[in-house]
Structure 1
Amino acid sequence: MAHAAQIKIPATYMRGGTSKGVFFSLKDLPAAAQVPGAARDALLLRVIGSPDPYDKQIDGMGGATSSTSKTVILAKSTRADHDVDYLFGQVSIDKPFVDWSGNCGNLSAAVGSFAISAGLVDPARVPRNGVAVVRVWQANIGKTIIAHVPITDGTVQETGDFELDGVTFPAAEVQLEFMDPAAEEEGGGGSMFPTGNLIDNLEVPGVGTFKATLINAGIPTIFINAEDLGYTGTELQGAINSDPKALAMFETIRAYGALRMGLIKHLDEAAQRQHTPKVAFVAKPLDYVASSGKAIKAGDVDLLVRALSMGKLHHAMMGTAAVAIGTAAAISGTLVNLAAGGVERNAVRFGHPSGTLRVGAEATQVNGEWGVKKAIMSRSARVLMEGFVRVPGDAF
């Protein structure tokens, strides 16, 4: 019996922030996958190695975690005042679907670098030496990201001494500006706080009722006090991810939170929307030891945050969730702001399982509606491998 031969597709494997994924230029994809739909999803699933009942993604490029089961498609922008259109696909590890409902803030750090190297940015906008300002249209959520990419001798500078907790080696710093990150176009009626409240009582049948801040900024996020869940906020991955009951609890909270935020209409829709919303728990500063062995002192941070992604506690912090943290911290009365001392601020440093991260955001209230002009953070990015990915020709 004859079997379809493998085909090869130009691709680049990149780290961006504390994530990594497979990057494609839209024009390099097979024709059937150049448009949204079943063929594109099937191709990306096969590239990453999903669905995998063994949860290992051995037969693909994925790394069997939410941070490493990611894909990116880029093209020259069709929008005025933008250089590149950026589409992010979060690939499920054990189920046959790709979640297109949100952005990846970490991989956003690699978009500008890839776009320049792939010729998607007008060469006239790239200095011989200095910083290239790449204007990115984030197509999943309809938002603008400005990436400041260092350039040396006309090419992207990837090496450097910028250290990012959650990433083993230093690299060049890439500053990101998430413009008008609140109130994504989908869900929540266009409001930063879809319920209209800074704090809600979130009723979760079979689990309990919790104080919660439900916010649409960077990515839809549900914030809950750690102590209300029986945690301290100093937990590392093993404490949560080795506890099936805890994971089931968080998924139930996430589903009811999604319903309350208007992101889904029926509870069972949450299973097909794993990427959003995120669930995070916050606490006031405490001493703890990060997963790297680094000692984090209470005085080093303004608050502690632990967040779950794709059903597991994240090893560091999702970039988009960091935007939500920075935005919520800037608004007096949210659970995040209260955990950070309840004072007005335009930047916050929080502790996560791998260390600390600083994010800046300035929030304003106009006619009773909260907004934020931009959130700023620094990440780094690096090409890990480039060439071709191969998949069976009948895989999509």
Structure 2
Amino acid sequence: MSHRPQLRIPATYMRGGTSKGVFFRLEDLPEAARTPGAARDALLLRAIGSPDPYGKHTDGMGGATSSTSKCVIVSPASVPGHDVDYLYGQVAIEAAFVDWSGNCGNLSAAVGPFAVANGLVDAARVPRDGLCIVRIWQANIGKTIVAHVPVHDGQVQEDGDFELDGVAFPAAEIVLEFVDPADAGEGGGAMFPTGNLVDELDVPGIGPLRATLIDAGIPTVFVDARDIGCDGTELQPAINDDPVALARFEAIRVAGALRMGLIGSPREAAARQHTPKVAFVAPPEDYVSSGGKRVAAAGIDLNVRALSMGRLHHAMMGTASVAIAAAAAIPGTLVNRAAGGGERTSVRFGHPSGTLRVGATVARIDGRWSVTKAVMSRSARTLMEGTVRVPADTLPL
């Protein structure tokens, strides 16, 4: 039997927000994986360690959760006025599948630092000390993200005192601006694909269910926690240890995807696990976070819990945070109602790990709502640099 040495692919393992993933420069990938297709998917699957029937990612770089089974490919910008292209792949854990249908808002925080550290931003635009403005083209959905990356002595500054609930240690703050985050070109080409602020879904096993269906940051289905027997203070075990609850949320996700026009039939949902997201909202209520932090109702505008890749998220996805900000700013949505109604430009919401403040600028033009910008703060850190090793038989000779 002949033996081929493993492929050695330059890569960086990074945390961005409450997620982490393997970052590649496009030029460092094997030639067969530099274009979309089966070879690229096979490479990323093997690097992460999927499919893993044990659900552990023992033989790969993944962390066996939706927050840690991610890959990013960064390349020089293909769109004028931008510094880099950013392509995101959500790698399934137990299935041989990479979902390219959306963005990761958390890992978006790491793209700017990665770009600066890897010389993908014009050196003349990187200050000796201060903020480096990195314009990112999010290639999955065709949107612009502006990252304000702190720089000290010409290098990306990673240490700082900014605390992000869901991350154990403080770091330097990175402000992200999601420019015109709505209308990703699917589901009718509008922030509200159905044209309604609240729809009624016919969900198998549940019946009629009110929902706000929005495409801002990422397609999201918002429901009222009380309508599904929840109170909005749930932590991961309450949902993830309950197969019946998980099946119910998947049914809601499928019904929402159908109404938004993201899929044509329920069977297509299995091949589109990353989008849409499902979130449930509730008015403020006291609870204790997963880290033991007491969250007081007086300090938040509403509670939100969201599912990613079929599981309740341990904090909040960055792209779902954009959707929360946009929906909260528009009177009449379920998110806005849970926050007390009225016009608002920002909200602080409670999630399983703590709280997060997000803001959005919205406008109503010719009877249609649009969001011009959503803003949030995140942090990022390089965890490891070097090469990822992948068995040579992953790719054809």
Specify the TM-score bucket, using the shorter chain as the normaliser.
over 0.9
Amino acid paired to 1:88: Y
Matched, 1:88 2:76: no
Whichever residue aligns with residue 183 of structure 1, its letter is D
> Shift in Å at residue 350 of structure 1?
0.2
Aligned partner letter, 2:35: V
What are the superposed Cα offsets for residues 135-170 of structure 1, whole Å, 9 maximum, x if unpaired? 000000000000000000000000000000000000
- Which letter maps to 1:302? D
Secondary structure of 2:67's partner?
Answer: helix
Runs (5+) with no aligned partner, structure 2:
none
Q: CA deviation at 1:2?
A: 2.0
Q: Which residue of 2 aligns with 1:316?
A: 315
Q: Provide the rounded CA distance (Å) in 2 between the counterparts of 1:22 and 1:46.
A: 12
Shift, 1:206, TM fit: 2.1
Structure 1 residue identity aligned to 2:286: D
Q: TM-score, normalised by structure 1?
A: 0.99
**Counterpart Cα distance in 1 of 2:152 and 2:228:** 49
Paired residues of 2:305 and 2:351 also in contact (CA < 8 A): yes
1:369 deviates by 1.2
User: Is 1:198 matched with 2:194?
Assistant: no
Q: Give 1:209 deviation, angstroms.
A: 1.4
The within-5 A match list for 1:179-198 is 179-185=179-185, 187-198=186-197
Which amino acid counterpart does residue 85 of structure 2 have in structure 1?
D
* Corresponding residue for residue 32 of structure 2: 32
SS at the partner of 1:68? coil
What CA distance in whole angstroms lies between the structure 2 residues aligned with 1:193 and 1:255?
Answer: 17
Note the C-alpha offset of 1:79. Answer: 1.2
2:231 is matched with 232
Partner of 1:346: 345
Amino acid across the alignment from 1:370: W
Would the aligned equivalents of 2:11 and 2:23 in 1 still touch at CA under 8 Å?
A: yes
Q: Give the secondary structure class of the aligned counterpart of 1:338.
A: helix
Residue number in structure 2 paired with 1:116: 116
The residue type equivalent to 2:181 in the other structure is: P
Residue 207 of structure 1: CA displacement? 2.1
Indicate the percent of aligned positions where both proteins have the same amino acid. Answer: 71
Does residue 253 in structure 1 map to residue 259 in structure 2?
no
What letter matches 1:21 in structure 2? G
The CA deviation at 1:368 is 1.2
| 1:77 aligned partner | 77
State the partner residue of 1:43.
Answer: 43
Q: What pairs with 1:144-293 in structure 2 (closer than 5 Å)?
A: 144-185=144-185, 187-293=186-292
Distance 2:201 2:254 in 1: 11
For residue 252 of structure 1, report the CA deviation from its aligned partner: 1.1
**Partner residue of 2:294?**
295
TM-superposition CA deviations, 1:368-395 (whole Å, max 9, x none): 1110110000000000000000001111
- Deviation digits for residues 12-43 of structure 1, max 9, x if unmatched? 00000000000000000000000000000000
Task: Give the partner amino acid of 2:156.
Answer: V
SS of the equivalent of 1:189 reads coil
* Runs of 4+ off more than 4 Å: none
For 2:201 and 2:125, the matched residues in 1 are separated by 48
Q: Distance in 1 between matches of 2:96 and 2:3?
A: 22
The number of residues matched between the two structures is 395
C-alpha deviations, 1:152-189, integer Å up to 9, x for none? 0000000000000000000000000000001112x212
- 1:73-115 Cα distance to aligned partner (Å, 9 max, x none): 0001021100000000000000001000000000000000000
- Structure 1 spans left out of the alignment, 5+ residues: none
| Distance in 2 separating the partners of 1:329 and 1:188 | 21
* Partner amino acid, structure 1, of 2:231: T
Q: CA RMSD in A?
A: 0.6
Indicate the SS of the match to 1:172.
coil
The alpha-carbon deviation at position 7 of structure 1 amounts to 1.1
- Using the TM superposition, give the Cα deviation of residue 205 of structure 1 relative to its aligned residue in structure 2, in angstroms: 1.8
Query: Normalized against structure 2, the TM-score is what?
Result: 0.99
**Pairwise CA distance, 1:195:** 0.5
